[in-house]
């Protein structure tokens, strides 16, 4: 392969988890050697149908739930370890615990040093 990024093993692990589990998730990630992360407040829905309710005679629909999106990019540790750590930190056993996705990353660049590829992660 001529394109050096083709065989790169950089992965992004994207997880939507309960906001009150963020602390446990961060701790689990640091313990597995992946302390770098981006956190965003998001709203979303999983597979459960929307819930209808009544409040002061008005009908409302609970469709979207507040979650936290955690993005972690790794090169030197297996994405599976990151997935396990997040799942560990986020788990309660109740519906709505969250979802984890693993994506390939083409390349990475560290702004300060100009480094590129896995060592920039």
CB of 15 to ligand ATP, least distance (A): 8
CB of 56 to ligand ATP, least distance (A): 27
Q: How many Å apart are CA 41 and CA 111, to the nearest integer?
A: 25
Residue from 70, 72, 85 nearest 11 by CA: 72
Q: How many Å apart are CA 121 and CA 107, to the nearest integer?
A: 9
Q: How many Å apart are CA 14 and CA 99, to the nearest integer?
A: 8
Task: Using CB under 5 A, pick the residue from 19, 35, 46, 78 that binds Mg ion.
Answer: 46
> Which residue lies nearer to ligand ATP by CB, 8 or 72?
72
Binding site residues, Mg ion, CB under 5 A:
46, 48, 95-96
Binding site residues, ligand ATP, CB under 6 A:
16, 42, 44-48, 65, 67, 95-99
């Amino acid at each position: 392969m001529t394109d050096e990024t083709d065989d790169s093993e950089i992965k992004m692990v994207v997880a939507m988890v309960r906001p009150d589990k963020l602390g446990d998730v961060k701790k689990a990630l640091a313990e597995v050697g992946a302390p770098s992360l981006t956190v965003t407040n998001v709203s979303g829905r999983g597979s459960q149908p929307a819930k209808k309710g009544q409040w002061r005679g008005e009908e409302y629909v609970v469709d979207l739930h507040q979650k936290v999106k955690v993005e972690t990019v790794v090169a030197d540790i297996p994405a599976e370890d990151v997935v396990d750590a997040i799942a560990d930190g986020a788990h309660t056993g109740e519906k709505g615990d969250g979802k984890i996705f693993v994506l390939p990353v083409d390349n990475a660049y560290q702004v300060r040093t100009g480094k590129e590829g896995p060592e920039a992660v």
